[in-house]
Structure 1
Amino acid sequence: MTDMSDAFLDAALQHVPFDGWSEATFVAAAADVDAPLAQARALFPRGAVDLAMAFHRRADRALALALSETDLATMRFRERVAHAVKLRLELVAGEKEAVRRGATLFALPIHAADGAKLMWETADVIWTALGDSSDDLNWYTKRATLAGVYSATVLYWLGDQSEGHIATWAFLDRRIGDVMKIEEIKAKVRNSAMLKPFATGFERFAASVRAPRAKGQDDLPGRWTPPT
């Protein structure tokens, strides 16, 4: 984000608890930073929706930075995942009402796809920070599963009144435990003489699915490279 975008978002956060991620918030934020609405819409074409998405993504960037500075090697795998999700929520603990308003916004059918995309992006940030090297179907299933765990934990966290959100962390631990049970079942299927042929067939299919490229294709028609 540019400095202007950050300033605009910071201004908007002062109004979100009262007006939500709405046009009223968008207009008020533009006035606060003394920016013409045309300039504000150049930064956030869809107005408050893009502002809400920028708020989420700014926290994701902060999470990626924090995880890069954390020694995760001393933690067990499930502890790493729990730590990452907990850290992500702690980064926005001071803006809990903005998160609540965002959850309301992205629950609307017209914005549900945007909300799902943001959950996926957060899961991807976490898996990338944890060193995930999968490049087949597992790349997708890992992110889809974690996105589900994260979104459920966010909703629980929003209603949690326990001291230090201890109830949320217990809820998170249970959700991660459920995911680990699924992995245990998959391992049992692979080791079962009766079910192994089915598992082998599925694993062949999974291996044929590839994760998206980290960078865009450079062989698309119409591409132009400036001379050096």
Structure 2
Amino acid sequence: MPPPAEDRSEDSSGAQEERFPRAAAARRALLEAAIPEAAFEGWNEATLARAGEIAGLSPGEIELYCPGGVLDLLETWSRQGDAAARAQIEAEGPPNRIRDKVTRAVMIRLEQYEGEEDAAVRARARLLLPDALDRGARLLWATSDTIWRAIGDTSTDGNFYSKRAILSGVYASTLAIWLDEHDPEKPKTRAFLDRRISNVMQIEKVKAQWRKTTSGLPDLTALAARLRYGPGRRS
């Protein structure tokens, strides 16, 4: 299920940081301290408590700034990665072909985890637990939305949702390959991503051809409704 319509606007995390700079700074400090710990201990309350000690925050401050526990830190990490990736994508200037734009943008987003792969593996596992599935889905959607916006997508109709839903699946599966591959050039990841993007492009071609073929045909859904409920009142 995609986010509600009001979530279609750009992520408001930047605005939240401007409104609550102290809270944002505290979460960044906690995250910085937690990443090395989580690489070995996982994303749990013990890691959060240890990060608080390193960052010089009391248990009360941790509760205040991260009421959702480590999931709040994982959201902070994901949002930071999205923002950094978007800045890099826009600064580079994406290629001309849409498939090349998406491919390059996905790789840039994955590269935000370079040097922190162990913690990212643990984060991915934590977000797959039942209590985090909703949060994980929202963060995945936000990442997909960031990528589309960064490469210039301006869709507002049904394509807005379908593009982000499809890319969410592509990104999630590619992330698993990226985290498991130790070659810094990531050849397996790039090959996998190329195949996934090719599959998506084929689906889009079929959809476009179907719309073209059926554009002159009657609306079968409306016809079926009339057959079931009758023609309705005539003026």
What TM bracket, shorter-length normalisation?
A: 0.7 to 0.9
Residue in 2 that maps onto 1:87: 108
Is 1:106 equivalent to 2:104 in the alignment? no
Q: Deviations over 1:50-105 (max 9, x none)?
A: 11111111111111111221212x43111110011000111112111111111111
Q: Normalized against structure 1, the TM-score is what?
A: 0.82
Percent identity at matched positions? 36
Deviation at 1:34, TM superposition (A): 1.3
May I ask how many residue pairs the two structures share in their alignment?
A: 199
* 1:64 aligned counterpart, secondary structure: helix
Structure 2-normalised TM-score? 0.80
RMSD over aligned Cα atoms:
1.8
Query: Residues 44 and 198 of structure 1: is their aligned pair in 2 closer, same or farther, counting only changes over 3 Å?
Result: farther
In structure 2, the residue matched to 1:216 is none
Q: 1:70 aligns with which of 79, 82, 92?
A: 92
Offset, 1:196: 3.4
Q: CA deviation at 1:5?
A: 2.1
Shift of 1:144: 0.5
2: CA distance between counterparts of 1:112 and 1:199? 41
Partner of residue 30 from structure 1, selected from 42, 52, 66? 52
The alignment partner of 2:154 has SS state of coil
Q: Shift of residue 19 of structure 1?
A: 1.2
Are the equivalent residues in 1 in contact too, given 2:103–2:197 (CA < 8 A)?
yes
Say which SS state the counterpart of residue 211 (structure 2) adopts. Answer: helix
One-letter identity of the residue aligned with 1:51:
L
Which residue of the partner structure matches residue 205 of structure 1? Answer: none
Q: 1:127 to 1:35 in 2, by over 3 A?
A: same
Structure 1 alignment gaps of length 5 or more: 203-228
1:178-201: per-residue Cα shift (whole Å, max 9, x none)? 100011101221232xx3356977
User: Hey, what does 2:66 align to over in structure 1?
Assistant: 44
State whether residues 190 and 200 of structure 1, in contact with CA within 8 Å, keep that contact through their aligned partners in structure 2: no
Measured in 2, the distance between the counterparts of 1:165 and 1:31 equals: 36
Residue 133 to residue 109, structure 1, CA distance change in 2 (3 Å): same
Correspondence 1:6 to 2:31? no
Verify the 8 A CA contact 1:190 1:199 in the aligned structure 2: no
Pair 199,86 (structure 1): closer, same or farther in 2 beyond 3 Å: farther
Is residue 127–residue 133 contact of structure 2 (8 Å, CA) maintained in 1? yes
